Amino acid sequence: MSLPLAPQKASALTKHNPAIRVQAAEAADIEAVVALDAAITGTEKAANWNDVYARFADTNQRLQRYFLVAKSGRDELVGFVVGEIRAWEFGSPPCGWILALGVTPDLREQGIGTLLFETLCAQMKNDGATTIRTMVLGTDKTNLSFFRGEGLAAGPYIELERRLD
């Protein structure tokens, strides 16, 4: 099932690659998602992605969780995005979180990541989110510059952590 795009997003898409479409992930897509993620990160995480699919895929829409994939005209998987709307964590109103986003390395800078991002934002906005948020490793230049390019900037929350050993 293809997801509806706002008219201006559709025109932005055709400027880059009209054959790319974004749709809800299906079970048959997971093998390709695992392979793409492994190609990007260098670590194969099949069990993790099967678990993500079980928790975030289409059947869990009422939980405001999203797992979308981008497909080429030849039906090849060329990108994915995972997110969810969370509310009232340390006072934060309903906010869309992007948990993962990946695009086939050879096909970057063609608007695929932007199409996935904008489709997810449109769905989250429609479902009540007023802000989009993500967390990226400080040295991950590819993802940091992508999200900056989409207009994200440092927000009012600061990530804090400590080791538990």
Q: Which of 26, 76, 89, 109: binder of other proteins (CB under 8 A)?
A: 109
Q: Does 89 bind other proteins (CB under 8 A)?
A: no
Q: Which stretch binds other proteins (CB under 8 A): 50-58, 60-68, 120-128, 143-151?
A: 143-151
With H, G, I as helix, E, B as strand and everything else as coil, classify residue 149: helix
State the binding string over 110-139 for other proteins (x if CB under 8 A, else -). Answer: ----------------------------xx
| Surface-to-core class of residue 70, CB atoms within 10 Å of its CB (0-12 exposed, 13-18 middle, 19+ buried) | buried
Cβ within 8 Å of residue 10, ≥6 positions away = none
Min CB(17)–other proteins separation in Å: 16
Instruction: Transcribe 36-67 into DSSP letters.
Output: HHHHHHS---HHHHHHHHHHHSGGGGGGTEEE
- Interface residues with other proteins (CB under 8 A) are 109, 138-139, 141, 144-145, 147-149, 154
